[in-house]
A and B are shown apart, each in its own frame.
Chain A
Amino acid sequence: MARVKFLCDADRCIDCNACVTACKNANEVPWGINRRRVVTINDGKPGERSVSMACMHCTDAPCAAVCPVDCFFTTADAVVLHSKDLCIGCGYCFYACPFGAPQYPKLGNFGSRGKMDKCTYCSGGPEGADGSAAEFAKYGANRMAEGKLPLCAEMCSTKALLAGDGEIIAQIYRERVLKRGYGSGAWGWQTAYKETVNV
Protein backbone atom coordinates (compact mmCIF):
# COMPACT_ATOMS: atom_id res chain seq x y z
CA MET A 1 0.00 0.00 0.00
CA ALA A 2 0.97 3.62 -0.35
CA ARG A 3 2.87 5.65 2.22
CA VAL A 4 0.46 8.54 2.76
CA LYS A 5 1.61 12.00 3.82
CA PHE A 6 0.45 15.57 4.15
CA LEU A 7 2.12 18.42 2.31
CA CYS A 8 1.23 22.06 2.82
CA ASP A 9 2.25 24.32 -0.03
CA ALA A 10 2.87 27.46 2.04
CA ASP A 11 3.00 29.65 -1.06
CA ARG A 12 -0.64 28.85 -1.67
CA CYS A 13 -2.01 28.73 1.88
CA ILE A 14 -4.05 31.86 2.64
CA ASP A 15 -4.78 31.15 6.32
CA CYS A 16 -8.48 30.71 5.59
CA ASN A 17 -8.85 27.86 8.08
CA ALA A 18 -11.14 25.85 5.81
CA CYS A 19 -9.09 22.75 6.64
CA VAL A 20 -9.54 23.37 10.37
CA THR A 21 -13.26 23.75 9.93
CA ALA A 22 -13.51 20.70 7.68
CA CYS A 23 -11.63 18.60 10.23
CA LYS A 24 -13.77 19.83 13.11
CA ASN A 25 -16.91 18.97 11.24
CA ALA A 26 -15.89 15.69 9.66
CA ASN A 27 -14.67 14.27 12.96
CA GLU A 28 -16.98 16.12 15.37
CA VAL A 29 -13.91 17.28 17.26
CA PRO A 30 -14.92 18.71 20.65
CA TRP A 31 -14.47 22.35 21.61
CA GLY A 32 -10.96 23.29 22.63
CA ILE A 33 -9.31 20.51 20.67
CA ASN A 34 -7.61 21.28 17.40
CA ARG A 35 -6.48 18.34 15.39
CA ARG A 36 -5.43 20.75 12.69
CA ARG A 37 -4.38 24.39 12.94
CA VAL A 38 -2.89 27.07 10.75
CA VAL A 39 0.26 28.84 11.93
CA THR A 40 1.41 32.06 10.31
CA ILE A 41 5.16 32.67 10.30
CA ASN A 42 6.52 36.22 10.14
CA ASP A 43 2.99 37.54 10.41
CA GLY A 44 2.65 40.92 8.75
CA LYS A 45 6.25 41.02 7.55
CA PRO A 46 7.49 40.58 4.02
CA GLY A 47 7.83 36.92 3.20
CA GLU A 48 5.09 35.87 5.64
CA ARG A 49 3.87 32.31 5.12
CA SER A 50 1.04 30.28 6.60
CA VAL A 51 1.29 26.55 7.15
CA SER A 52 -1.57 24.23 7.97
CA MET A 53 -0.38 21.58 10.40
CA ALA A 54 -1.83 18.45 11.97
CA CYS A 55 -0.20 15.14 12.74
CA MET A 56 2.37 14.41 10.03
CA HIS A 57 2.21 10.63 10.63
CA CYS A 58 5.97 10.57 11.05
CA THR A 59 8.39 7.89 10.05
CA ASP A 60 9.71 6.40 13.32
CA ALA A 61 7.05 8.43 15.14
CA PRO A 62 8.39 10.10 18.32
CA CYS A 63 4.98 9.94 20.03
CA ALA A 64 4.89 6.15 19.64
CA ALA A 65 8.43 5.74 20.92
CA VAL A 66 7.88 7.67 24.16
CA CYS A 67 4.38 6.42 25.03
CA PRO A 68 4.76 4.65 28.39
CA VAL A 69 1.93 2.24 27.62
CA ASP A 70 2.90 1.66 24.00
CA CYS A 71 -0.53 2.42 22.62
CA PHE A 72 0.40 3.49 19.07
CA PHE A 73 -0.19 1.50 15.92
CA THR A 74 0.91 2.21 12.38
CA THR A 75 -1.49 1.23 9.60
CA ALA A 76 -0.53 -0.28 6.27
CA ASP A 77 -0.73 3.25 4.83
CA ALA A 78 1.82 4.41 7.46
CA VAL A 79 -0.87 6.35 9.32
CA VAL A 80 0.00 6.66 13.03
CA LEU A 81 -3.02 5.77 15.18
CA HIS A 82 -3.35 5.37 18.95
CA SER A 83 -5.76 3.44 21.12
CA LYS A 84 -7.95 5.54 23.38
CA ASP A 85 -8.67 2.44 25.44
CA LEU A 86 -5.02 2.09 26.39
CA CYS A 87 -3.94 5.75 26.63
CA ILE A 88 -3.45 6.94 30.22
CA GLY A 89 -3.34 10.64 29.35
CA CYS A 90 0.23 11.19 30.50
CA GLY A 91 1.03 13.87 27.92
CA TYR A 92 4.43 12.51 26.91
CA CYS A 93 3.45 12.30 23.26
CA PHE A 94 2.99 16.08 23.19
CA TYR A 95 6.53 16.65 24.45
CA ALA A 96 7.94 14.29 21.83
CA CYS A 97 5.83 15.40 18.89
CA PRO A 98 7.74 17.86 16.68
CA PHE A 99 4.45 19.28 15.37
CA GLY A 100 2.36 19.76 18.51
CA ALA A 101 -0.27 17.36 17.22
CA PRO A 102 -1.52 15.53 20.36
CA GLN A 103 -4.44 17.19 22.12
CA TYR A 104 -6.04 16.53 25.51
CA PRO A 105 -9.59 17.03 26.74
CA LYS A 106 -8.36 18.42 30.07
CA LEU A 107 -5.57 20.76 31.06
CA GLY A 108 -4.16 21.16 34.51
CA ASN A 109 -2.51 18.43 36.41
CA PHE A 110 -0.86 15.50 34.83
CA GLY A 111 -2.98 12.87 36.50
CA SER A 112 -6.13 13.64 34.65
CA ARG A 113 -5.54 14.98 31.17
CA GLY A 114 -7.96 12.48 29.70
CA LYS A 115 -7.52 10.41 26.56
CA MET A 116 -5.22 11.95 23.99
CA ASP A 117 -6.82 12.98 20.71
CA LYS A 118 -5.10 13.69 17.43
CA CYS A 119 -5.48 13.62 13.68
CA THR A 120 -6.15 10.10 12.42
CA TYR A 121 -5.68 10.94 8.74
CA CYS A 122 -9.45 10.34 8.67
CA SER A 123 -8.70 6.66 9.36
CA GLY A 124 -10.79 6.14 12.49
CA GLY A 125 -9.28 4.10 15.30
CA PRO A 126 -6.80 1.25 15.47
CA GLU A 127 -9.34 -1.25 16.75
CA GLY A 128 -10.91 -2.12 13.45
CA ALA A 129 -14.73 -1.85 13.31
CA ASP A 130 -14.29 0.51 10.37
CA GLY A 131 -17.02 3.05 10.02
CA SER A 132 -19.01 1.99 13.08
CA ALA A 133 -20.80 4.53 15.26
CA ALA A 134 -18.61 3.53 18.20
CA GLU A 135 -15.47 4.21 16.19
CA PHE A 136 -16.84 7.57 15.06
CA ALA A 137 -17.68 8.66 18.59
CA LYS A 138 -14.20 7.80 19.83
CA TYR A 139 -11.94 8.69 16.92
CA GLY A 140 -13.98 10.50 14.28
CA ALA A 141 -14.49 9.73 10.63
CA ASN A 142 -12.99 6.81 8.76
CA ARG A 143 -12.92 8.20 5.24
CA MET A 144 -9.89 6.13 4.29
CA ALA A 145 -11.94 2.95 4.72
CA GLU A 146 -14.37 4.42 2.18
CA GLY A 147 -11.49 5.12 -0.21
CA LYS A 148 -11.54 8.87 0.45
CA LEU A 149 -8.71 11.14 1.53
CA PRO A 150 -8.78 13.35 4.65
CA LEU A 151 -11.44 16.04 4.38
CA CYS A 152 -9.07 18.91 5.28
CA ALA A 153 -7.06 18.43 2.10
CA GLU A 154 -10.14 17.67 0.03
CA MET A 155 -11.70 20.96 1.10
CA CYS A 156 -8.63 23.19 0.91
CA SER A 157 -9.83 26.25 -0.96
CA THR A 158 -6.52 26.89 -2.71
CA LYS A 159 -5.39 23.27 -2.91
CA ALA A 160 -2.42 24.24 -0.79
CA LEU A 161 -2.91 21.27 1.51
CA LEU A 162 -2.23 17.99 -0.25
CA ALA A 163 -2.93 14.53 1.12
CA GLY A 164 -2.28 11.16 -0.45
CA ASP A 165 0.55 8.91 -1.54
CA GLY A 166 3.76 10.70 -0.59
CA GLU A 167 5.35 10.14 -4.00
CA ILE A 168 2.38 11.56 -5.86
CA ILE A 169 1.89 14.67 -3.75
CA ALA A 170 5.63 15.34 -3.87
CA GLN A 171 5.43 15.16 -7.66
CA ILE A 172 2.46 17.54 -7.76
CA TYR A 173 4.34 19.99 -5.56
CA ARG A 174 7.50 19.68 -7.67
CA GLU A 175 5.58 20.49 -10.85
CA ARG A 176 3.96 23.50 -9.21
CA VAL A 177 7.27 24.90 -8.09
CA LEU A 178 8.79 24.41 -11.53
CA LYS A 179 5.83 26.04 -13.21
CA ARG A 180 5.45 29.09 -10.98
CA GLY A 181 9.16 29.45 -10.35
CA TYR A 182 9.31 29.43 -6.55
CA GLY A 183 8.43 27.40 -3.49
CA SER A 184 9.31 27.56 0.18
CA GLY A 185 9.58 23.80 0.42
CA ALA A 186 7.58 21.03 2.02
CA TRP A 187 7.27 22.32 5.60
CA GLY A 188 8.01 19.68 8.20
CA TRP A 189 9.05 16.97 5.78
CA GLN A 190 12.70 16.99 6.77
CA THR A 191 11.67 16.54 10.40
CA ALA A 192 8.86 14.06 9.86
CA TYR A 193 10.19 11.92 7.02
CA LYS A 194 13.93 12.71 6.92
CA GLU A 195 13.58 13.82 3.31
CA THR A 196 12.49 16.90 1.45
CA VAL A 197 10.99 17.47 -1.92
CA ASN A 198 13.87 18.45 -4.14
CA VAL A 199 13.00 20.59 -7.09
Chain B
Amino acid sequence: MRVFLIAVTSMIAVAVGAYYGLNLIQKPADVAFAVSGARLDAPGQPGG
Protein backbone atom coordinates (compact mmCIF):
# COMPACT_ATOMS: atom_id res chain seq x y z
CA MET B 1 0.00 0.00 0.00
CA ARG B 2 2.79 2.40 0.96
CA VAL B 3 4.61 1.76 -2.30
CA PHE B 4 1.36 2.21 -4.18
CA LEU B 5 0.78 5.64 -2.65
CA ILE B 6 4.36 6.69 -3.36
CA ALA B 7 3.90 5.53 -6.94
CA VAL B 8 0.69 7.53 -7.40
CA THR B 9 2.29 10.61 -5.85
CA SER B 10 5.31 10.46 -8.11
CA MET B 11 3.06 9.81 -11.09
CA ILE B 12 1.24 13.04 -10.36
CA ALA B 13 4.54 14.84 -9.79
CA VAL B 14 5.88 13.74 -13.18
CA ALA B 15 2.60 14.74 -14.86
CA VAL B 16 2.62 18.19 -13.28
CA GLY B 17 6.26 18.56 -14.23
CA ALA B 18 5.36 17.64 -17.80
CA TYR B 19 2.62 20.27 -17.76
CA TYR B 20 5.05 23.03 -16.84
CA GLY B 21 7.71 21.67 -19.16
CA LEU B 22 5.36 21.60 -22.11
CA ASN B 23 4.06 25.06 -21.39
CA LEU B 24 7.58 26.37 -21.91
CA ILE B 25 7.59 25.18 -25.50
CA GLN B 26 3.97 26.11 -26.14
CA LYS B 27 3.63 28.94 -28.62
CA PRO B 28 0.57 31.07 -29.18
CA ALA B 29 -0.50 31.28 -32.82
CA ASP B 30 0.35 34.98 -33.00
CA VAL B 31 4.00 34.23 -32.20
CA ALA B 32 4.26 31.00 -34.17
CA PHE B 33 2.82 32.47 -37.35
CA ALA B 34 4.55 35.82 -37.21
CA VAL B 35 6.91 37.16 -39.82
CA SER B 36 9.54 39.64 -38.77
CA GLY B 37 8.93 43.28 -39.48
CA ALA B 38 5.20 42.90 -40.03
CA ARG B 39 4.06 44.60 -36.85
CA LEU B 40 4.54 47.89 -35.13
CA ASP B 41 2.96 46.84 -31.83
CA ALA B 42 3.21 43.86 -29.53
CA PRO B 43 1.84 40.69 -31.09
CA GLY B 44 -1.52 39.39 -30.02
CA GLN B 45 -3.11 42.73 -29.42
CA PRO B 46 -5.79 43.24 -32.02
CA GLY B 47 -6.09 46.89 -32.82
CA GLY B 48 -3.69 47.66 -29.96
Contacts and interface: CB of A to CB of B under 8 A. Distances in A.
Any A–B CB pair closer than 8 Å: yes
Interface of A: 28-33, 103-109, 111-112
Most B C-beta atoms less than 10 A away, residue of A31, A105, A106, A108:
A31
B22 interface: yes
Going nearest first, the 10 A-B pairs with the smallest beta carbon separation are A32-B29, A31-B30, A32-B33, A32-B30, A108-B26, A109-B22, A107-B32, A28-B46, A107-B27, A106-B28
A31 B44 contact: yes
A189 B44 CA distance: 34
Contacts of B29: 30-33, 103-107
Contacts of A107: 26-29, 32
Contacts of B44: 30-32
A108 B30 CA distance: 13
Interface string B23-48: 10111111111100001000110110
Contacts, number: 50
A106 B27 contact: yes
B26 A112 contact: yes
Contacts of B19: 111
27 contacts: A28-B46, A29-B46, A30-B30, A30-B44, A31-B29, A31-B30, A31-B34, A31-B43, A31-B46, A32-B29, A32-B30, A103-B29, A104-B29, A105-B29, A106-B26, A106-B27, A106-B29, A107-B29, A108-B25, A108-B26, A108-B27, A109-B22, A109-B25, A109-B26, A111-B22, A112-B22, A112-B23
Contacts of B22: 108-109, 111-112
A32 B34 CA distance: 7
A143 B28 CA distance: 28
